[in-house]
Amino acid sequence: MKASHAAALALVGWYLIYAPAKPKTGTTDRFIVDRNAALSEWRKLPNWFDCLSDCERLRDYDRGISAKWSNFTEGTAAQAFMAATSTAKCVPMDDPRLKGNAK
């Protein structure tokens, strides 16, 4: 990696994001984790990270806690939240996919 590229990455913050849990059609108490949703629909933690390693550390922690839910796709809001944490990803704050199709 070139020094200029590394310097540019150092200036970018990082979001920890999770796949959205959406209400199951026709229900009010069942939710589905949408792992295929556009990145712009994924849920961001309200805080962001200065460095990728800090983001990855929390991502790995979340994945470890929710490992038993990793294949879970449907359930109550709490169950869906736990399943969604198993999808955690770190993405740069300037990733254009986070903006969606804004015009």
Whole-model pTM? 0.75
Q: What is the mean pLDDT of residues 11-16?
A: 90
Kindly indicate the confidence band of residue 33, based on its pLDDT and cuts at 50, 70 and 90. Answer: confident
Phi, psi of 89 (to 5 degrees): -135, 150
Whether the pLDDT of residue 93 is over 90: the answer is yes
Domain boundaries, position 75: 19-93
Q: What is the mean pLDDT of residues 30-44?
A: 92
Total structural domains in the chain?
1
pLDDT of residue 70: 57
Look up residue 63 and give its DSSP letter.
Answer: H
CB within 8 Å of 61: residues ≥ 6 apart: none
pLDDT tens digits for 56-83? 999 998 888 776 665 666 688 878 888 8
State the Cα–Cα distance between residues 65 and 58, nearest whole angstrom. Answer: 11
Residue 76 included in any domain: yes
Residue 88 included in any domain: yes
Residue 81 included in any domain: yes
Residue 89 included in any domain: yes
Residue 84 included in any domain: yes
Residue 54 included in any domain: yes
Residue 73 included in any domain: yes
Residue 3 included in any domain: no
